[in-house]
Structure 1
Amino acid sequence: MDHRLLDIRQAITRHARDGLTATALPGLSVLRTTRTTQPTGDVLEPAFALVAGGVKHTVLNGEVHRYGTGEYLVATVDLPVVGSIVAADENEPFMAVALALNPGRIASLLLDTGGPGGPSGAHSPSAFGVGHASPQLLDALARLLALLDHPADVAALGAGIEREILWRLLNGPQGATIRQIGLADSRLAHLTRAIRWVRDHYDQPLRVADLAAIAAMSPSSFHRHFLALTSMTPLEYQKQLRLNEARMRLLTGRHDVASVGFSVGYASPSQFSREYRRMFGTPPSQTV
């Protein structure tokens, strides 16, 4: 195993409690667990996350993405997904480190450097990607985690190392879409406004024409770029938000199936049960 990956694993072991743990570095979290998990609905927010041990599955609109030790994911907009840790035990825990992607810091880096590559072109790059971490990326991430052992150095050195990580990502396979995070008038910025509206109003009726107006696009252009970015239509995106929220409410055990379906925007209990089973593999009554 790469010695830089070993350093990352050791730092996670020192600083992670069982489960997701925020650190003293803003936007940086670590995760360590010895247990696999059942598929759980979640909304990925813009972030970079590296797996340092074990294996995880993330399902985005029915497509399974598998990534393990030395691999990372990047999400550049809020994405409803279903995730599960599929390989973890006492001998080989699942370990990961996540860094939020800050638009202001990306913008500053692009302003100072001009950024890699040229214009994004006519098509929206995907908002989700999985790749292998380069030695340079692992090295920068190991040095960032090492600052947790020296709190007095965080203020002086943390921003510079985070900047280096962002630069490595901008020059990686997901660089084109990460670049758009830092551009205030990019297509991604316009689509993000519409995505946030859907997330905040997932239980309300949705009209593509209204979302297109929020994104300052024609309906046909909005629909095309939304699909390219998220791999789903606006209605599919809304449905997955609804089902993820429904699962969370059912897991609390405080609501019956019909009332949960209505509360997230379903008018038909049978449709709710059918789509819930299709997404999670079990009926909502079994979740309760």
Structure 2
Amino acid sequence: MDRLQESITRHAREGLTATALGGVSVLRAPTPTEPLGDMLRPTLAVVAQGAKETTLNGRAFTYGAGQFLVASVDLPVTGHITQAPFLAVVLELRADKIAELLLDTQPIPHAAAPVGVGVSDASPLLLDALARLLALLDAPEDIPALATGLEREILWRLLTGPQGATVRQIGLADSHLAHLARAIRRIRDHYDEPLRVEDLAALATMSVSSFHRHFRAVTSMTPIQFQKQLRLHAARTRLLADAGDVAGVGFAVGYDSPSQFSREYRRMFGVPPSRDSR
């Protein structure tokens, strides 16, 4: 933990900072933050200091120093730092890297069903591998030779740990999670367009009833609720840039009715869009 804290402090500017290690970022925040919407991508986030709360459809996941969060698919969440100073390292979970590791190793027992978000305690072995990976930032000439092996070690610690079933599904091309991910990307990229569940189910190669069941199991939402959260998070971001055009923002994210937009915005964020933007 000490080594992780030192590396993050040395290489992170305030906020999220990309590093020379592909797919690895470091995060530093000197004070607690207000809740803000975000699109969570498939990632591993390990906290070295402080604590953060991530909320998915009303369910809060709190994780602090020595713990990690795994996200298996793209998810609309609200997050804020609850204890500061806050230090964390974030690793993108790439399906091809996980698949490669699964092909080269013996089958891993997996009992639990995959979920969209999970929080667990980080093992000393996982923390040590992460500390050695970040240490490469002080020896950039070693990155081409050593980074791939260290990322592989970190993924192995995840696969054999408490979130292993979920991480494993990310790498399996024919898994339910991989099929759902295609449909989720479709909603994410076209959230402002009308949604047809039948088309999404076909994209995920599932029946409509099976698609609904698996989608809710992973995201805790129906597809319509998922789209609504994407629209409202996008609207909140747009209002930061143009607080005066509430109706225009509502239309831009897919609402036909300004009153419906205002009503659903208030239900999600607690205040009307005009007041929230101020």
- Normalised to the residue count of structure 2, the TM-score between the two structures is 0.96
- Give 2:3's match in structure 1, choosing from 3, 7, 14: 7
Contact 2:114 2:169 in 1 (8 A): no
Question: 1 CA distance for matches of 2:38 and 2:107?
Answer: 31
Contact 2:255 2:261 in 1 (8 A): yes
Question: 1 CA distance for matches of 2:239 and 2:32?
Answer: 21
Q: Which amino acid aligns with 1:111?
A: L
CA RMSD of aligned residues (A): 1.4
Give the aligned partner of residue 96 of structure 1: 88
SS at structure 1 position matched to 2:54: strand
Q: After superposition, what is the alpha-carbon deviation per residue over 1:202-259, rounded to whole angstroms, capped at 9, x for unaligned?
A: 0111111111011111000000000001111101110110011000000112551111
Which aligned pairs between 1:45-64 and structure 2 lie closer than 5 A? 45-64=41-60
Give the aligned partner of residue 167 of structure 1: 156
1:147, distance to aligned residue in structure 2 (A): 0.8
Identify the range of structure 1 (275-284 vs 202-211) with the bigger mean alpha-carbon deviation: 275-284
Give the aligned partner of residue 19 of structure 2: 23
Q: After superposition, what is the alpha-carbon deviation per residue over 1:36-77, rounded to whole angstroms, capped at 9, x for unaligned?
A: 221111100000001111111111001111111111100010
Question: 2 CA distance for matches of 1:287 and 1:59?
Answer: 19
Question: 1 CA distance for matches of 2:100 and 2:232?
Answer: 37
Question: 2 CA distance for matches of 1:173 and 1:274?
Answer: 40
- In structure 2, runs of 5+ residues without a counterpart are none
Give the aligned partner of residue 121 of structure 2: 132
1:286, distance to aligned residue in structure 2 (A): 1.7
Give the aligned partner of residue 106 of structure 1: 98
Question: 1 CA distance for matches of 2:224 and 2:106?
Answer: 37
Contact 1:73 1:129 in 2 (8 A): yes
Give the aligned partner of residue 61 of structure 2: 65
1:280, distance to aligned residue in structure 2 (A): 2.0
1:130, distance to aligned residue in structure 2 (A): 0.7
Identity %: 65
- Give 2:249's match in structure 1, choosing from 249, 253, 260: 260
Give the aligned partner of residue 185 of structure 2: 196
Question: 1 CA distance for matches of 2:25 and 2:268?
Answer: 28
Contact 1:53 1:94 in 2 (8 A): yes
- In structure 1, runs of 5+ residues without a counterpart are none
- Give 2:29's match in structure 1, choosing from 19, 24, 33: 33
Identify the range of structure 1 (215-224 vs 269-278) with the bigger mean alpha-carbon deviation: 269-278
Contact 2:182 2:203 in 1 (8 A): yes
Aligned: 1:205 with 2:194: yes
Q: After superposition, what is the alpha-carbon deviation per residue over 1:260-279, rounded to whole angstroms, capped at 9, x for unaligned?
A: 11111112222222222222
SS at structure 1 position matched to 2:52: strand
Question: 2 CA distance for matches of 1:15 and 1:225?
Answer: 40
Question: 1 CA distance for matches of 2:186 and 2:67?
Answer: 32
Aligned: 1:272 with 2:264: no
SS at structure 2 position matched to 1:155: helix
Question: 2 CA distance for matches of 1:33 and 1:163?
Answer: 28
Contact 2:8 2:89 in 1 (8 A): yes
Question: 1 CA distance for matches of 2:177 and 2:234?
Answer: 25
Identify the range of structure 1 (174-183 vs 217-226) with the bigger mean alpha-carbon deviation: 174-183
Question: 2 CA distance for matches of 1:278 and 1:51?
Answer: 31
Q: Which amino acid aligns with 1:196?
A: R
Contact 1:126 1:230 in 2 (8 A): yes
Question: 1 CA distance for matches of 2:189 and 2:83?
Answer: 34
SS at structure 1 position matched to 2:6: helix
Q: Which amino acid aligns with 1:66?
A: T
Aligned: 1:244 with 2:233: yes
Q: After superposition, what is the alpha-carbon deviation per residue over 1:169-216, rounded to whole angstroms, capped at 9, x for unaligned?
A: 011121111111111111111111111111111011111111101111
Give the aligned partner of residue 81 of structure 2: 85
Give the aligned partner of residue 153 of structure 1: 142
Aligned: 1:117 with 2:114: no
SS at structure 1 position matched to 2:91: strand
Question: 1 CA distance for matches of 2:107 and 2:56?
Answer: 29
